[in-house]
Amino acid sequence: MTASARIGIAAPVLSDRETQYVLECLQTNWISSKGHFISDFEREFAGRVGARHGIAVTSGTTALHLALAALGVGPGDEVIVPTYTMIACANAVRYCGARPVLADSDPVTGNLTADEVARRLTSRTKAVMPVHLYGHPADMDAIHAVTDPKGIPLVEDAAQAHGALYHGRPAGSLAAVGAFSFYANKIVTCGEGGMVVTSDDRIAENARALRDQGYDPARRKFLVHDRIGFNYRLTNLQAAVGLAQTQRLDEFVRHHRATAALYDELLASVPGILRPPELPGVRNVYWMYTIQVDGARYGRSRDELLLELEKQGIETRASFVPIHRQPAYAGQYDGESFPVAEKLGREGLNLPSGNNTTPDEVRRVAAAIAGLRGS
């Protein structure tokens, strides 16, 4: 890659295997929501993340909605959600007619904390949604210790955490039900898609029925619907890509961790740049290598650095705007305080760190960040 070539933040890496599987779909005419690649993808992905069941859906957002709906979340209920995350988490709660109760973040990992959950529990709390932010697992044991005695289920948002481990257990196996995304910039992708994972037979049965317009499985040929459902079916074409990608998960995780290790080495001596953590007992998969820019020490704000890197042909992205600061939720959380989330949202910057990011690109990005300090 030449010095002037643009560096993208993340892109999928596809191989002959993905092509072979998709061609099979086209050659056999199995291109819609039937075909063996769907069940193969569900079975293999669920197995990789330690769940008995996988239910493939159209996106990570619909996976969250379906997970909540399968638990029976509805009007009048509350779901505790971190404010420092993708807005889809709160939106999925709203789709159920429930209220997102926002919580602040751990200052090191950015994740939801057990203390925040305990502070925000009420008699209306129907579920809690920990998010494994940027690939670092939340402290699930501590959160379970708060919610389990009250019988409150966790909905594990593992959209960014394919292959992550928490005390040896895969992300996706740490709660009653979990949700993954397969958007194009994720570690495993099928362009657009998602997966609900669970080891609870009842939740799996509910999710499968709700995914497919609420058909009664025993009377589907007679077009009988026994509940109000959704059309969240994934296509065989997408599942073919997802299966091939899942079969490469170990390769992709090694790549993300190697990319993070190189960034760690090159940015360690740059004042004002805080690197992402990996706490004891977890395996961070660094879906995005997300730094915090301390403007006072670095000499530039996060926004200034983002714009200067853009001038050098380096694509970056600001980290999540906290949900309570989103115009779509304006005024709904007035008077509440989320100081950690606001600081993380103000200082966070995602660096190029996709499956396609090369060591030479990492070196160029790190050199640019070091060279721009205080200049």
Whole-angstrom CA distances from 346 to 166, 287, 306, 339, 342 are 28, 20, 12, 11, 6
Per-residue pLDDT tens for 223-266?
899 999 999 999 999 999 999 999 999 999 999 999 999 999 99
Domain that holds residue 107: 16-246
Q: Same domain, yes or no, for 120 and 255?
A: no
Q: Same domain, yes or no, for 204 and 154?
A: yes
Residue 63, in any domain of the structure: yes
Q: Same domain, yes or no, for 217 and 364?
A: no
pLDDT of residue 1: 40
What tokens does 136 get?
């670092």
Q: Same domain, yes or no, for 59 and 175?
A: yes
The CATH number covering residue 309 comes to 3.90.1150.10
Reduced to 3 states, what is the DSSP secondary structure of residue 16?
helix
Q: Same domain, yes or no, for 234 and 124?
A: yes
pLDDT of residue 375: 65
Contact between residue 333 and residue 102 where contact means Cβ atoms under 8 Å apart: yes
Residue 35, in any domain of the structure: yes
pLDDT of residue 216: 84
Q: Same domain, yes or no, for 117 and 176?
A: yes
Residue 274, in any domain of the structure: yes
Of 342, 350, 348, 343, the closest CA to residue 102 belongs to 342
Residue 183, in any domain of the structure: yes
Q: Same domain, yes or no, for 240 and 257?
A: no
pLDDT of residue 2: 47
pLDDT of residue 219: 85
Q: Same domain, yes or no, for 222 and 266?
A: no
pLDDT of residue 220: 84
Please state, as a whole number, how many other Cβ atoms lie within 10 Å of the Cβ of residue 269: 8
Whole-angstrom CA distances from 331 to 201, 243, 281 are 40, 43, 39
Domain boundary among 223, 246, 269: 246
Pick out the chain residues at pLDDT < 70. Answer: 1-4, 375
Residue 325, in any domain of the structure: no
Overall number of domains in the chain: 2
Residue 171, in any domain of the structure: yes
Q: Same domain, yes or no, for 195 and 266?
A: no
pLDDT of residue 4: 66
Of 64, 10, 83, 5, the closest CA to residue 290 belongs to 10
Q: Same domain, yes or no, for 131 and 261?
A: no
The CATH number covering residue 89 comes to 3.40.640.10
Q: Taking the model in full, what pTM does it have?
A: 0.96
CA angle 183, 184, 186 (to 5 degrees): 70
Domain boundary among 246, 264, 292: 246
> CB-based contacts of 217: which residues, under 8 Å, 6+ apart?
208, 209
Q: Same domain, yes or no, for 205 and 59?
A: yes
Residue 76, in any domain of the structure: yes
Domain boundary among 219, 246, 273: 246
Contact between residue 213 and residue 225 where contact means Cβ atoms under 8 Å apart: yes
Q: Same domain, yes or no, for 79 and 200?
A: yes
Residue 254, in any domain of the structure: yes
